[in-house]
Amino acid sequence: MTVHWSRIAIYAVLIVFAALYLMPIYVLLVTGLKSFGEVRLDQMWDLPSRLRFDSFREAYNSLDSNLANSFKMVIPATLISCMVGSINGYVLTKWRFPGSNVVFFLLLYGMFIPYQSVLIPLVKTLQALHVYGSLWGLVVTHVIYGIPITTLIFRNYYANVPTELVEAAKIDGASIFGIYRRIVFPLSLPGFVVVAIWQFTSIWNDFLFAVTVTSNPAIQPATVALNNMAGSFIVEWNVQMAGALITALPTLVVYILLGRFFVRGLMAGALSS
């Protein structure tokens, strides 16, 4: 094989960019491994004098129950989001009715509201629903504000699932629910992966709703606790960064494990309208 300079150049560019993309993570990691005294802005690139996981331990100790809260909220919220989006997408592609495009438009438009502007009515509404101040309140909030994006993704995804399958099942005697349960749902995995990743990440990373809806530290999600690690007083950057890494870990794991399916799901039509 002849060596092609153009290929070498391509790899070089890719590697340089990879390094640039990893730079922030390097800083997070290195700072997290330092002691408080070592943390100085002008020494941020230096490796820690010795490996110490104290900051991680400390961060973890102050975050662990909140991480559990996050999971308790994110998992049901993501699952429900997926189901709701999937059902909406199913109806909007396979059971179209007069005005279904308008309905889709109305649902989708919700994606674009600035969330800071709805906090006050949100709290009142959640109170009326008796879920304010609980993780379920957060679940409800995230599921509802997730409807636009999940519906969009599933609608685009289902547009590429042959309608003949649904028709064949209709003729075979299945009802609207039967078709969903036995035909459409089992074929939805790539769509679910995309939606799950998307929702998991954005719900997990949300701070605004979390801090607004839950005030009891015992039930607050990790993002709020992480934020509280930086008081108005001294910021222990090493612990802060360690905490940031710990908090980001679940989403990173999700991306690394499911990244392949994410791309595949996107290729299968999710998000390409």
Within residues 140-169, the interface with other proteins by CB under 8 A covers 141, 143-145, 147-148, 151, 159, 162, 164-165, 167-169
- Least distance in angstroms from the C-beta of 22 to other proteins: 6
Q: Are 139 and 80 spatial neighbours (Cβ–Cβ below 8 Å)?
A: yes
Helix 237-267 vs helix 189-205: crossing angle, to nearest 10: 160
Spatial CB neighbours of 133, under 8 Å, sequence gap ≥ 6: 213, 214, 215, 216, 219
DSSP-based three-state secondary structure for 49: coil
- Least distance in angstroms from the C-beta of 227 to other proteins: 5
Site for other proteins in 28-87 (CB under 8 A): 28, 31, 41-42, 44-45, 84, 87
d(CA 58, CA 65): 13
User: H or E element: which one contains 136?
Assistant: helix 135-159
- Least distance in angstroms from the C-beta of 72 to other proteins: 18
Q: Does 5 bind other proteins (CB under 8 A)?
A: no
Pick the closer one to other proteins by CB: 27 or 68: 27
Q: What angle do CA 55, 58, 61 make, to 5 degrees?
A: 145
Pick the closer one to other proteins by CB: 132 or 136: 132
Q: Does 104 bind other proteins (CB under 8 A)?
A: yes
The count of residues in the chain is: 273
Residue among 201, 221, 238, 242 that touches other proteins (CB under 8 A): 201
Residue among 95, 131, 134, 261 that touches other proteins (CB under 8 A): 95
Q: Which two tokens stand for residue 181?
A: 């349960």
- Least distance in angstroms from the C-beta of 45 to other proteins: 6
d(CA 263, CA 261): 5
How many residues bind other proteins (CB under 8 A)? The answer is 128
User: H or E element: which one contains 15?
Assistant: helix 5-32
Which stretch, 8-16, 49-57, 66-74, contacts other proteins (CB under 8 A)?
A: 8-16
Residue among 59, 67, 224, 242 that touches other proteins (CB under 8 A): 224
- Least distance in angstroms from the C-beta of 97 to other proteins: 5
Spatial CB neighbours of 37, under 8 Å, sequence gap ≥ 6: none
For 78-208, strand residue ranges (E) read none
Q: Does 8 bind other proteins (CB under 8 A)?
A: no
Q: Does 171 bind other proteins (CB under 8 A)?
A: yes
Q: Does 252 bind other proteins (CB under 8 A)?
A: yes
